[in-house]
Amino acid sequence: MNGTPPSNRPGGESPSDAALVGAAMTGHAWAQEALYRRHVPHVFALAVRLLGERDLGWDAVQNGFIVAFRKLGKLRDPAAFAPWLRKIVVRETLSMRRRERPANRNVDIEELASSEASPEERASFVRLQRWLEGVREPDRTIYLLRVVEQYRNEDIAELMNVSLATVKRKAARVEKHLRNLGRGASDE
């Protein structure tokens, strides 16, 4: 790739993550910007779901991209930029959760649900988020990563620097808590 962003590629294709990572590693700022624009919506939504707060979510995302761009040379598979970035952002959210204890969350829980979700799925998600507000850390984050974000237990253990058994035990504890809440919850 040369020093300018690719334009008018045949078929309107945009460069792959691997191509953008390669260009970014050789100092092309446009490639970093392209990676940022491509991935910021997804990692921001993830950070806000984990932190429950928009401002902290933006901080986690910005810090995550700074770390990712600084460590691009350590990325073994440039095509795996997206999952690698998600791991970095999750680690940033965990770090922020330890440092910051948001007293009042300035986010509408309904905004966190996927726009493609049905009204029933959105209502279920809101109810789940409200129930999870009473769950302590790191149990809450483990459960969200496992159930909402669909991470594998092994990936969660690596992200959170805990054993696989700890992930399973804490996820089971949250599931039990939610089952107990569900039995006592009224249909609103």
State pLDDT tens for residues 157-184. Answer: 988 888 999 999 998 988 888 787 766 5
Q: Percent of the chain scored above 70 by pLDDT?
A: 81
pTM: 0.71
Secondary structure (DSSP) of the chain = --SS---S-GGGPPPPHHHHHHHHHTT-HHHHHHHHHHHHHHHHHHHHHHHS-HHHHHHHHHHHHHHHHHTGGG-S-GGGHHHHHHHHHHHHHHHHHHH---SS--S-HHHHS-TTS-HHHHHHHHHHHHHHTTSPTTHHHHHIIIIIS---HHHHHHHHT--HHHHHHHHHHHHHHHHHHHHH----
One-letter amino acid at 9 equals R
Q: What is the CATH number of domain 16-102?
A: 1.10.1740.10
Q: Where are the chain's structural domains? A: 16-102, 114-188
Average pLDDT for residues 115-143, to the nearest whole number?
A: 78
To the nearest 10 degrees (0 to 180), the angle between helices 17-25 and 29-51 is: 120
CA-closest candidate to residue 1, choices 16, 100, 41, 11: 16
CA-closest candidate to residue 140, choices 51, 45, 46, 24: 51
With 0-12 CB in 10 A as exposed, 13-18 as middle and 19+ as buried, what is 62? middle
102 — pLDDT class (breaks 50, 70, 90): very low
114-188, what's its fold? Arc Repressor Mutant, subunit A (1.10.10)
Given a cut of 70, whether residue 111 has pLDDT beyond it is no
